[in-house]
Amino acid sequence: MITETHGLTDEQRKLAATVRDFADHVVAPAAYRYDTERRLPVEIIRQMGDLGLFGLPFPVEVGGQGKDYVSLCLAVEALARADQSIAVTLEAGVGLGVMPIFRHGTDAQRERWLPDLVSGRALGAFGLTEAGAGSDAGATRTTARLEGGTWVIDGSKQFITNSGTPITSVITITAVTGDPGAGSKELSSFLVPAGTPGLVVGPGYDKVGWHTSDTHPLTLTGVRVPEENLLGERGRGYANFLRVLDEGRVAFAALATGAAQGCLEEALRYAGTRTVFGASIGSHQHVAFMLARMEARAHSARLCWFDAAQKLVHGQPFKAEASVAKLVASEAAMANARDAAQIFGGYGFLNENPVARHYRDAKVLEIGEGTTEVQLMIIARDLGLTA
């Protein structure tokens, strides 16, 4: 169990227990309904804000809770046990919505956006991915040109989480600001307020899973924002979002660990109550061994994200560890979802069953925040290989 992880403080254990209780009594009972309705439950997001979850890794001076990234990951894992969509709303809201502004924003930008974002009254999004630019961000085609003190942005983005909710307030957009035909593109980041003329949020995607998570394509046609909406230094957009992605992989690994843990808990409960020929199915060795492997996967995934998160908060290099954690945890979630559905049999194929939702949701864990193949490439390079 997450609260048994070696190295947690008493305060962190209490946080994990609090969020776990919230997930069990608030998130889980509503998960099937919102999954069916395919909409983000803003009322639950606001309750998460009241718990201080969106402000966990930020200092008190900006309205945060003064905790650290380990604490954020604990909350993400606890939520993902019950509903991955809710967990990724928090993970993306903090890591992609708030963190770039907190880390690279000016005092004025922080004063304008952070109070609502860290309190959960609003959500932020990060517009990086395009049809031909995801893992290869150098292929970005969205452009921004400076005209008389105003940035004019044209382009499109896709798969942007938290971009079209009723409480979305700002979207960070990456765009080419130098000569698009130059050999090495100059990439910069801009803060685009929701509702800016020319910014069109397309219809939500018809996704296999994560139905409650808000995900949209964006089109930007002549979007004009003030010159001061440049986020960070001009031309530093690429370097800045690399750090964001590395951190995001750690939290994503915690999310995947929560999914693996949730599948284990559901399958363990069912195996203890479902009887066949007078005995619980859990008493049969093949089912018991499936559950044992599920426990081993969840435990290994937890150790991986915890190691990466500890290095992150202590200022140590963590890029390779983040990729290991993301790789191990996403594969654990996929495998545990498959085994849990098998243990449930026909009931595991019903969408009202949390295991079925985890089965649908888990696949994206091997794609989002960098595909499995990208993680393998990063790990191989860390080993001194040229993959």
Question: How far is the C-alpha of 254 from the C-alpha of 310, rounded, in Å?
Answer: 13
The amino acid present at 348, given as its one-letter code, is G
The two tokens of residue 114 are 């952070």
Q: Do the beta carbons of residue 132 and residue 141 sit within 8 Å?
A: yes
Q: Do the beta carbons of residue 263 and residue 365 sit within 8 Å?
A: no
The two tokens of residue 292 are 């044992």
Which helix (DSSP H) or strand (DSSP E) does residue 117 occupy?
helix 107-119
Known catalytic residue: 37? no
Give whole-number Cα distances, 66 to 14, 118, 271, 338, in Å.
15, 11, 41, 38
Question: How far is the C-alpha of 132 from the C-alpha of 121, rounded, in Å?
Answer: 33
Of 157, 176, 147, 170, residue with least CA distance to 101 = 170
Question: How far is the C-alpha of 257 from the C-alpha of 295, rounded, in Å?
Answer: 11
Q: Do the beta carbons of residue 36 and residue 212 sit within 8 Å?
A: no
Q: Pick the catalytic residue: 247, 266, 366, 369?
A: 369
Of 179, 184, 96, residue with least CA distance to 138 = 184
Question: How far is the C-alpha of 331 from the C-alpha of 2, rounded, in Å?
Answer: 18
Which residues are identified as catalytic? 369
